[in-house]
Amino acid sequence: MPTVAVTGAGGFIGSWIVRILLDRGYQVRAAVRDPHDELKLAHLKQLPGAPDRLTIVKLDLSSSSAIEARVQGCDGVFHVACAMAAKLTRDPHAEIVQPIVDGTVNLMRACSSAGVTRVVLTSTIGTMYLDPSRGDSAPIDEQCWSSLEFMEETGEWYCLGKTLAESAAWQISMKSELDLVVINPSVTLGPVLQPWQNASSSHILRLINTKFERYLNRSQAYVDVRDVALAHVEAFERQGARGRYLCAESSLHRAELIDVLREVVPPEVAARLPSKMVTGGERAARFVISTEKIRRELGLKFRPLKECLKDSVESYRDKGLLVFPRASPALA
Ligand SMILES: NC(=O)c1ccc[n+]([C@@H]2O[C@H](COP(=O)([O-])OP(=O)(O)OC[C@H]3O[C@@H](n4cnc5c(N)ncnc54)[C@H](OP(=O)(O)O)[C@@H]3O)[C@@H](O)[C@H]2O)c1
Q: Is the CB of 219 under 6 A from ligand 1?
A: no
Average pLDDT on 169-184 reads: 97
pLDDT in tens, 242-258: 999 999 999 999 999 99
Which DSSP state fits 140? B
- Please enumerate, as own/partner, the contacts of 234-240 that have beta carbons within 8 Å and a separation of 24 or more: 234/298, 234/299, 234/300, 235/120, 235/181, 235/183, 235/298, 236/4, 236/76, 236/78, 236/118, 236/120, 236/181, 238/297, 238/298, 240/297
Q: Is the CB of 81 under 6 A from ligand 1?
A: yes
- State the catalytic residue, choosing from 162, 175, 211, 306: 162
Average pLDDT on 124-140 reads: 94
Per-residue pLDDT, 324? 60
Residue 218 burial (CB < 10 Å; 0-12/13-18/19+)? Answer: middle
How many A from CA of 266 to the centre of ligand 1?
30
Average pLDDT on 64-75 reads: 92
Per-residue pLDDT, 328? 38
Query: Which H/E stretch holds residue 263?
Result: helix 254-264
Question: What is the distance between the alpha carbons of residues 125 and 236, in angstroms, rounded to a whole number?
Answer: 20
Per-residue pLDDT, 330? 34
With bands split at pLDDT 50, 70 and 90, how would you rate the model's confidence at 129? very high
Per-residue pLDDT, 87? 67
Is 58 catalytic? The answer is no
Is 329 in contact with 273 (CB distance < 8 Å)?
no
With bands split at pLDDT 50, 70 and 90, how would you rate the model's confidence at 305? very high
Question: What is the distance between the alpha carbons of residues 229 and 20, in angstroms, rounded to a whole number?
Answer: 7
Tell me the one-letter amino acid at 274: P
Per-residue pLDDT, 8? 97
Go through the domains of the chain in sequence order and give each one's CATH number: 3-189+224-248+288-303 (3.40.50.720)
pTM given for the model = 0.96
